[in-house]
Structure 1
Amino acid sequence: MSAETAGRPLALTVGEPAGIGPDVTLGAWLRRDRDGVPPFLFVGDSDLLRRRAEVLGLHVPVADCAPGEASGIFARSLPCLAGARKVAGEPGRIAPADSPAVVDSIARAVAFVRSGEAAAVVTNPIQKKALADIGFEHPGHTEYLGQLSAAQFGVEARPVMMLAGPMLRVVPVTIHVPLRAVPDLLTTALIVETARIVAADLATRFGLARPRLALAGLNPHAGEDGMLGSEDGAVVRPAVEILRAEGIDATGPLPADTMFHAAARERYDAALCMYHDQALIPIKTLAFDDAVNVTLGLPFVRTSPDHGTALDIAGTGRARADSLVAALKLAAAMAGREQAA
């Protein structure tokens, strides 16, 4: 853990109690010495972890505590927030009554960062449908975190999703929309706004003095001079020109099919892709087990493992903690660099 975050744990949310969040939380704590996992506070029901540890046959001492006590006991016990809402959390079986605790955990984790009791937020995966069923109005974590930024920090944030792995960082400019909707949603202004946020956070939270951004073209061969579509020349290229005029090291539009081999990746620090799969296919190919979901543009650091709730393997011992371990380590490093900056 960096000196800047010493004494302040990461706030780890409960996620979907019926999923693999409890499994990987236990697994991450067990790897604290081997992999240098920074201290975290599980903002959830300690009994959930005790029951899941028993199911998995793991010896993990769990302790209820206040945020300020978490770092001190982390070496010998997995710290859980005292007084957290109780949940059923039966592996693989979602309980609607558990969903309010999931939402509460996210809000309390952000509040701990706002108060200075935690260094950053790390979120376990949620089951979006389960939350929608109780009237949760946001499509997922990212949008809710944007609302919490306004409510708790007084900052109107424009969250940007980045997936980061050991060999590649990618940002989808458009995210969870049908492919046929992408050309209409993609604008020069949207690309420029996204790139500015990426460049700023890469500088303050990743320690890159002058981040290099590579912008993918929308169409095959980046449009082939208009023969395969006009969007690259009419929408993407003007965005690159605006960014370069502002002093941001941006290149593109580049053919997406030649952007992700090893030599090409050495020429940029993050790739901005025009749609979801253009970004996520390469990162999940290169770093399926240890990629991290990072939300840029927030007034606080937030990371998450790059996987879902995996209800089908919860409680089986098959869940791997690699991505959560990477998310915890990256969150601590980002928070430390931000404080230093």
Structure 2
Amino acid sequence: MPPLKTLAISVGDLNGVGFEIILKAHTQVRTLCRPLYCIDRLMAERAAALLGNTLPDDFECQSVGESFEIRPGCVDATSGHYSYNSFKEAVELAKTGTADAVVTLPIHKEAWMRAGIAYKGHTDALRDFFSQDAIMMLGCEQLYVALFTEHIPLREVADRLDSESLIAFLIRFYRSTKAHKAGVLGLNPHAGDHGVLGDEEGFIEEAIEEANRRIGHEVFEGPIVPDIAFTPRFRERYGFIVAMYHDQGLGPLKALYFDESINVSLGLPIVRTSVDHGTAFDIAYQNRASVTSYLNAVKAATTLQRYQENE
């Protein structure tokens, strides 16, 4: 059998549920890969002790920074800075080939802000690290949803929508996923009702047509009326959906597959997957966190391929 892949695991905000998930799932994860945890051993021991546990003998740590006091459930600049350093170290291990992929546990956006970190989250940082326009995609085997726009105010979404930007997005998405069929949502209710409720669907139609022409076959269909796209009939037709904005895609997805879903960064020279949930400060260090999303993220990280710009 080929050797197991090495995954660099960034531990997320240590005031949240990330380390509990890591510790709970370690034995099973060890059968899937060689996990290299981006956390100093002292901090790992402190977190394990707060959970009433000890570190397994095969728990490999990668030093990332100075130690600090873990404060379960608290938004803290120090913990935010540590989670950022853990993430940067994991990315560096993948860039240098020490690790085959990166898996991230949840960070807290306000903690990053308090720490003076300019990024809103992992995907924003990855775009800057690699100078490439990474795509945020979330979901599971049953359904994946890619986001054309992400963490921007809703009032700005329509201004970001133009044919050329969406064409580039769709082609990049296809090269990363090799999707057989993908549904593209309209922006407006009823997908605009042929201009009655908005005209942005004209840009979407143009982008779908041109993206399919450049790809050489019809991958993308739409614009689909958003309020029916997640019904059983459409979920059977499309394994992938492209949403125009964050809550349009992720609200229905999480209602259907919250525990199973993961986050994938497409269009990068490294593979990065993540859990599809937050720090859950309200249950931190209470041994109540689910490991399902994390295990799915690990499994995906061992199978996904790096994006090649010139495919």
What TM-score do the two structures reach when normalised by structure 2?
Answer: 0.91
The verdict on how the C-alpha distance between 1:88 and 1:37 changes in structure 2, with shifts beyond 3 A counting, is farther
> Structure 2 matches for 1:62-141, cutoff 5 A?
62=57, 77-82=58-63, 85-141=66-122
Q: Deviations over 1:57-96 (max 9, x none)?
A: 345415xxxxxxxxxxxxxx22211575423223223443
Equivalence for 2:162: 187
1:212 aligns with 2:181: yes
Amino acid at match of 2:224: L
CA contact (8 A) 1:127 1:309 kept: yes
CA contact (8 A) 1:160 1:295 kept: yes
> Structure 2 matches for 1:326-337, cutoff 5 A?
326-335=296-305
Amino acid at match of 2:187: L
CA contact (8 A) 1:217 1:256 kept: yes
Shift of 1:180: 2.2
1:238 aligns with 2:206: yes
Shift of 1:288: 0.6
Q: 2 CA distance for matches of 1:14 and 1:86?
A: 14
The verdict on how the C-alpha distance between 1:294 and 1:229 changes in structure 2, with shifts beyond 3 A counting, is same
Structure 1 window deviating more from structure 2 (129-138 vs 157-166): it is 129-138
CA contact (8 A) 1:43 1:84 kept: no
Equivalence for 1:31: 28
Amino acid at match of 1:162: M
Q: Deviations over 1:211-267 (max 9, x none)?
A: 3221111112211111222111x2111111111211251111111122222231222
The verdict on how the C-alpha distance between 1:274 and 1:337 changes in structure 2, with shifts beyond 3 A counting, is closer
Equivalence for 1:286: 256
Structure 1 window deviating more from structure 2 (83-92 vs 101-110): it is 83-92
1:44 aligns with 2:39: yes
Amino acid at match of 1:327: A
Shift of 1:137: 1.2
Equivalence for 1:222: 191
Q: 2 CA distance for matches of 1:179 and 1:336?
A: 31
Which stretches in structure 2 are left out of the alignment for 5+ residues?
Answer: none
Please report the RMSD computed on the Cα atoms of aligned residues, expressed in angstroms.
2.2
* Number of residue pairs aligned between Structure 1 and Structure 2: 307
Structure 1 runs (4+) deviating above 6 angstroms are none
Which stretches in structure 1 are left out of the alignment for 5+ residues?
Answer: 63-76, 150-155
1:14 aligns with 2:30: no
Amino acid at match of 1:242: E
> Identity over the aligned pairs, expressed in percent?
35
Q: 2 CA distance for matches of 1:82 and 1:277?
A: 36
Q: 1 CA distance for matches of 2:94 and 2:105?
A: 16
> Structure 2 matches for 1:193-204, cutoff 5 A?
193-203=168-178
Q: 2 CA distance for matches of 1:313 and 1:25?
A: 15
The verdict on how the C-alpha distance between 1:284 and 1:40 changes in structure 2, with shifts beyond 3 A counting, is same
